């Protein structure tokens, strides 16, 4: 095998059963996930008993992008909503979140959705892949092929949404992803 295909062993060496190369890279795109991205996910997922000050600093939404060299998924600077901002500087957190997404490029995002069913109020994390129609094809391809890398780090996400335009991010579409006809309100607004 090595005589006819000298690189065959080299390519296989280091690959785990899942197709990963031992680090945070995916086989499809080779993109890594920054440790800060994983830390933010963990902080959003695990709600510890916190003081009111700590709760205000908790993230409601965060947007992630590819680094300039397209080799790592990182936190996009300045693209977050804190729980403490809701009702103070931000009246509609979901509308503000949608407004933070770029018109002509792709992004990943986490959003801590608050919604109500007929029986209870809930908060659950949603993962978004934003791939607008106006984004360059190359960007759409690398974000799509790198999505598994970030999703593997976000264990336990129940809700995922791929949006290709603002019409995919209206409250009715999001309510459908969260539970369909069981949802009566999203972020305090009736659906």
Confirm whether 12 is domain-assigned.
Answer: no
User: 72 by DSSP, 3-state: which?
Assistant: strand
d(CA 81, CA 45): 15
Confirm whether 176 is domain-assigned.
Answer: yes
Confirm whether 121 is domain-assigned.
Answer: yes
Confirm whether 7 is domain-assigned.
Answer: no
Which residue did the predictor score with more confidence, 33 or 58? 33
- pTM score, whole prediction: 0.81
Structural domain for 103, as ranges: 32-190
For the chain, what is the total number of helices (H) and then of strands (E)? Answer: 6, 8
Confirm whether 162 is domain-assigned.
Answer: yes
Percent of the chain at pLDDT above 70?
84
Q: pLDDT tens digits, residue range 74-89?
A: 999 999 999 989 989 9
Confirm whether 27 is domain-assigned.
Answer: no
Tokens read off for 177: 């992803």
Calculate the CA 181 to chain-centre distance.
24
Dihedral, CA atoms, 82, 83, 88, 90, nearest 10 degrees?
60
d(CA 145, CA 27): 9
Q: Give, as one character, the DSSP assignment of residue 20.
A: -
> What is the average pLDDT across 143-167?
93
Confirm whether 14 is domain-assigned.
Answer: no
Confirm whether 65 is domain-assigned.
Answer: yes
The domain that holds 171 is classified in CATH as 3.40.20.10
Q: Mind giving me the DSSP string for 105-149?
A: S-EEEEEEEEEEESS-EEEEEEEEEE--TTS-HHHHHHHHHHHHH
- The number of folded domains in the chain is 1
């Amino acid at each position: 095998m090595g005589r006819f295909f000298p690189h065959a062993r080299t390519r296989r060496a280091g690959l785990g059963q899942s197709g990963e190369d031992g680090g945070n890279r995916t086989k499809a795109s080779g993109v890594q996930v920054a440790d800060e991205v994983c830390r933010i996910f963990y902080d959003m997922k695990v709600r510890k008993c916190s003081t009111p000050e700590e709760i205000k600093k908790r993230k409601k939404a965060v947007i992630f992008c590819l680094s300039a060299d397209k080799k790592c998924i990182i936190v996009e600077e300045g693209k977050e909503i804190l729980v403490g901002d809701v009702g103070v500087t931000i009246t509609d957190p979901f509308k503000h979140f949608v407004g933070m997404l770029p018109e002509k490029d792709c992004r990943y995002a986490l959003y801590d959705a608050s919604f109500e069913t007929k029986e209870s109020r809930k908060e659950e994390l949603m993962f978004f892949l934003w791939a607008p129609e106006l984004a360059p094809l190359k960007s759409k391809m690398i974000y799509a092929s790198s999505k598994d890398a970030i999703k593997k780090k976000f264990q336990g996400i129940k809700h995922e949404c791929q949006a290709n335009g603002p019409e995919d991010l209206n409250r009715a579409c999001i309510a459908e992803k969260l539970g369909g006809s069981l949802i009566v309100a999203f972020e305090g607004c009736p659906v």
